[in-house]
Structures are given as C-alpha cells and as structure tokens.
Amino acid sequence: MTATIRWFKYSSPPAFYPLAGALAPWFFAAAAVFGAMGLYVGFFVAPTDAQQGEAYRIIFIHVASAWMSMFLYVVMAFWAGVGVAFNTRLSSMMASAVAPTGALMTFIALWTGALWGKPMWGAWWVWDARLTSELILLFLYIGFMSLQAAIDDPRRADRAGAVIALVGVVNVPIIYFSVQWWNTLHQGASVSITRSPSMAATMLTGMLLMALAFWMYGIAVVLLRVRCIILERERNADWVKQLPEPRR
C-alpha cells in the first residue's frame, strides 16, 4: 500500500484550522520545556560575566527576541509574497498572523536592549545603526498591521500589506550587518558561522535554549492567531458553522 501525503490539502483553511489547533499545544509545551531549561542554564549554570557582572543575563531574552524579530519578518514577507503570487488565501492569513508576534518580539528586543544599555553604556537609547534599524523594523510591523486594518476588503488588504512586507525586507540584512557596516556602540555578533563564539560555552547554551523556546512559542502563537483569522474571514462558510461544539 502506498500512502501519498497530500501536502496541499493543508493549504485550505478548513483543513488547516483543525491541524493548527492540534499542533499548537505541542509547540507551547516545547516552548515551556526549552524555556525552563534556558532559564536554569542562564541563571544557575552560566557564570558571572567578567566585564558586565550580572547585567549581562539580559542577553538570554534580548538575543532570542532580536533573532525572532528579524526571522519572523522574513517569514511574514515570505507568506505575504506567496499569497500575492499564487492567490492562496491561507498564505496571506499566515502573514497577518505573524505580524503582531513579530512586533511584540521587536518591542521586547528594544525594551531589554534599553535596560541593558543603561547600565553598560549609560544611556537608555542612542541613535546608532543597530538600534535605529531595529526601531524601523517595529515601524514596518506596525505599518503592515495598520494598513491591513484600514482596508475593509481582505484580499485588497493582503495585497497592500504584501507591498510593505516585501519592500521592508531589505531592512533585515541592514539590522543584521549594521554592527559591521557602521561604527556603533552595540557590540558585534557573539555568534557567527565563520568563527567560534566569543563567549563561555554555558552562556551560549543558555542563549540557544532560550532562542529555541522563543521559536517554539512563536510557532504556537502564530498557529493560534491564524485560527482566529480563519474564523473571522470564513465565518459565513458552511464548514465553520458545522464545527463541533467547543469544549468548555
């Protein structure tokens, strides 16, 4: 017997809605497990930093959220682009579902950065390349969401949003390489592909665990949100009316 997996089956909202609902709890569980491990390593295993004392422990959420803020933007632009190119409803819904979490991650990266910058640099905020381009990322997310909210017809909103999402994607490499291209107060990358990490192994482990936790959380929350968006956009469809009673 040959089992053919029909991948495209899940590109239709009625098929994806229950799948997303079944997957989300597992991603939340994975996020909780990685998060607990990351926090344990970050606070109890990783040593005190020689230069920054205990303040450096902000790194475990700062780097994880900053990575997610950039990664989610690329994911959002990808789905927005696919939605426009192939006119697939679910792709555009995915793009809309990613945006608020991306904006939240950007906010967390900026907030934790300010609380780290104050004790280390003596300033909550400086207008340098890394910080400014990350702030522009927040504005891009907010612009995408407000533009979509301002247009009543969802398909037109999807296309307009896709323009912002795709144009704004140039900002992501600018954020990433800003610490190399410009003279900046922000420290360089602690982790890179070309050389070994410039930090203690346990610090790196904690950081990667927290990044995994944020990644799992991001997937879980986007799945929950895309379920809401599907219900909002398809509320008049028969399959929505025939959904089983929600569990109390």
Tokens 């229950």 map to which residue? 18
Cα separations (Å) of 38 from 45, 208, 220? 10, 8, 18
50 secondary structure, DSSP code: T
Please answer whether residues 68 and 214 qualify as being in contact, where contact means their C-beta atoms are separated by less than 8 angstroms: yes
Look at phi and psi of residue 111 and say left if phi exceeds 0, alpha if psi is from -120 to 50, else beta: alpha
In angstroms, give the least distance from the CB of 139 to another protein.
Answer: 18
For residue 232, state whether it binds another protein (rule: CB under 8 A): yes
In angstroms, give the least distance from the CB of 195 to another protein.
Answer: 28
Q: Which contiguous run of DSSP H or E holds residue 113?
A: helix 89-121
> Could you tell me the sign of the dihedral formed by the alpha carbons of 151, 155, 157, 163, in that order?
negative
In angstroms, give the least distance from the CB of 113 to another protein.
Answer: 9
In the region spanning residues 204 to 223, those forming contacts with another protein, defined by CB under 8 A, are: 217, 221
Among 16, 27, 57, 207, binds another protein (CB under 8 A): 57
Cα separations (Å) of 168 from 133, 165, 237? 11, 5, 34
Contact region with another protein (CB under 8 A), list: 39-47, 71-79, 82-90, 166-174: 39-47
Over the window 76 to 115, marking each residue x when it contacts another protein by CB under 8 A and - when it does not, the resulting string is ------------------------xx--x--xx--xx--x
Closest to another protein by CB, 140 vs 221, is 221
Which parts of this chain interact with another protein (CB under 8 A)? 43-44, 46-48, 53-55, 57-58, 61-62, 65, 100-101, 104, 107-108, 111-112, 115-116, 118-119, 217, 221, 224-225, 227-228, 231-232, 235, 240-241, 243, 245-246
